[in-house]
Structure 1
């Protein structure tokens, strides 16, 4: 009978290999326990992996859309706030016209002009509101300030256009002084000379750099909404027209009947502006409501997708926890055996 020996070095090498394998397995199971999904989806799921990836892509798309909706909601909210400010400015002009109607006093007209110019400045500032570096009322021209300042230094193009229009009209009608205007002539000047400057190409040339095409945003897989308005809408034009008429003509040297004609025209235009601004706010309010409903729907869909993905990718937490504990025990045992083997040396027995 022949006996053979086994080197303790060979045993230690085998034990080290066992420890490495156990450590790698423990790392995988610990990660699974933390994330709740399989360590290697492709290896575990096989052909089902493509289904899992498709669902995950859909989930990522919904998350991106929710983030976009949050930005759209903020833009709409900022637009609503600016429109409210503009509406108050328009109401200020209307109230001022009502307050000083029938008053021909020089001081009263100076106050009226100051009030109207102040309201016009507030309106213009609100119209030029920006959000996240984009102008809210520029349509798709978000990098361009939409509305020009009327009372600027040097004089704005709009101011120069008004002065030219008034001079040309008076010259064409042989009028040498404002006091010579009749109510009919003033109505004709307002309706047929000034109004077309605001409703036609003159608006783009002198007042607005905005695009008439509004910003649109996709809020769900099937819904696209207009997420802004622009400075070319009728409400903006009518407010500017009412303000210019009130500021430039009411304090001129005209008789009571002509001044009454100016006041009535300005009042009519500012009423149109207020109605238009209310309409714009209502439209944006509807858009806000649609965004909110779309986000709620996306959240519900995300919950369903997460549940389905977890069903595919998820692990048995109890089984994994048991496996982790077993691996830790094995690893501790391996460390102890390795320590014992390292102490097996002839030097200890000499």
Structure 2
């Protein structure tokens, strides 16, 4: 019978090799249990990284789209809130002005004129909305407030109606000022400080985007401001001492405010459609991310139960190796004595 043995030095070397191998397995399996991904990705895909690269590129692209959709959602939500504040500022004011438009109620006209001036300031402040360090209604000029101050606008209107002889002339002068084209010395030259072009589109997905073209120069927003501004002019002393004329101006302002409400509602409805589209895109992108993550897990994922079971087995082997090493080397304190 042939018997082959190895020396102590060789035995020690072999033991160290086993120890390093088992420690390597423990490190690999621990990583796979924690991360859920194979440590050796090349082996998992058999050296073919084409499919994995496509999945990773898709996930990075969708991450960029998520950032864009989140920004668009914040932008539209904040803008919807600002428009609600504009609508709230004019809500009820038109009806109150119409009910007070009689020569017998000059005090009520004066009170509503003060209210209109305050509400006009609130409207201008709401339209000067700033979202994520960008002015939302300035078009491409996002670093500039879209509207001048409320008092600046009212001061310009005072100059526009200064030479008006009748109530109709005053109303026409205010209308002309708000509707004047660029270069005409009206709203677009004095009140509006933004750009004519809208914001760049928000990318929502592959080949999908939404355009935010709304600015504070939108005719529907100007119409909403015009009625409140006309009523606010009464608080600046317009036709002071002429109750009949002031009542007629209040009546005209109330009519304008009520007539502007459908346009303001349409603006908010259009923005709501954009919000719905953004939400749909975000949901679609989220579902695609889930699909790609499943595909990536199929390619390089490590089964957590199998990895945990293998890790337990390797730990047992490592403990057994330490025990055998101690016995072989007689590393017992009692035997040493």
| TM-score, reference length from structure 1 | 0.81
Deviation sequence 1:93-135 (CA, Å, 0-9, x none): 3123212112365423321210110110121121123233333
Q: CA RMSD in A?
A: 3.0
Q: CA deviation at 1:27?
A: 1.0
Aligned partners of 1:338 and 1:228: how far apart in 2? Answer: 77
Aligned partners of 1:310 and 1:124: how far apart in 2? Answer: 53
Q: For the Cα contact (< 8 Å) 2:97–2:109, is it kept in 1? A: no
Q: CA deviation at 1:18?
A: 1.8
Q: Given the superposition, is the C-alpha separation of residues 242 and 334 from structure 1 closer, same or farther in structure 2, using an over 3 Å criterion?
A: same
In structure 2, list runs of 5 or more residues that go unmatched: none
1:177 equivalent in structure 2:
none
2:249 equivalent in structure 1:
262
Bigger mean CA offset, 264-273 vs 105-114: 264-273
Aligned partners of 2:306 and 2:273: how far apart in 1? Answer: 51
Alignment of 1:177-216 (within 5 A): 181-182=165-166, 186-191=167-172, 193-199=173-179, 200-201=181-182, 202-215=186-199, 216=201
Aligned partners of 2:257 and 2:40: how far apart in 1? Answer: 68
Q: CA deviation at 1:149?
A: 1.9
Aligned partners of 1:321 and 1:249: how far apart in 2? Answer: 80
Aligned partners of 1:95 and 1:298: how far apart in 2? Answer: 46
Aligned partners of 2:12 and 2:136: how far apart in 1? Answer: 73
| TM-score, reference length from structure 2 | 0.84
1:222 equivalent in structure 2:
207
Aligned partners of 2:336 and 2:296: how far apart in 1? Answer: 62
Aligned partners of 2:213 and 2:85: how far apart in 1? Answer: 16
Alignment length (residue pairs): 326
1:241 equivalent in structure 2:
226
Q: CA deviation at 1:281?
A: 0.6
In structure 1, list runs of 5 or more residues that go unmatched: 171-180
Secondary structure at the residue paired with 2:45? Answer: helix
Alignment of 1:33-112 (within 5 A): 33-103=33-103, 105-112=105-112
Aligned partners of 2:305 and 2:229: how far apart in 1? Answer: 77
1:161 equivalent in structure 2:
156
2:281 equivalent in structure 1:
294
Q: Does 1:232 align with 2:217?
A: yes
